[in-house]
Amino acid sequence: MADKTILRALAGETLPVPPIWMMRQAGRYLPEYRATRAKAGDFLSLCYNPELAAEVTLQPIRRYGFDAAILFADILLVPQALGADLWFVTGEGPRLSTITSEADMARLGDPKDVHETLSPIYQTLRILKGELPKETTLIGFAGAPWTVATYMIAGRGTPDQGPAHALKGENRPVFEALLSKITAATIEYLSAQVDAGAEVLKLFDSWAGSLEGEDFERYAVRPAAEIIAALKARHPDVPVIAFPRGAGARFEGFAKATGADCVALDEGTDLSWAASHVQTDGCVQGNLASRHMVTGGEDLVRETRAIVDAFSNGPHIFNLGHGITPDADPDNVHRMIEAVRGA
Q: Which residues are catalytic?
A: 24, 28, 37, 74, 151
| Helices assigned H by DSSP within 213-296 | 214-216, 222-234, 254-258, 271-277, 292-295
Pairing status of strand 137-143 against strand 93-96:
unpaired
Q: How far apart are CA 53 and CA 45, in angstroms?
A: 9
Q: How far apart are CA 117 and CA 120, in angstroms?
A: 7
Among candidate residues 88, 83, 72, 84, the one with its CA nearest the CA of residue 193: 72
Q: How far apart are CA 180 and CA 190, in angstroms?
A: 15
Radius of gyration (C-alpha) of the chain in whole angstroms: 19
On the 0-12 / 13-18 / 19+ scale of CB atoms within 10 A, 14 is middle
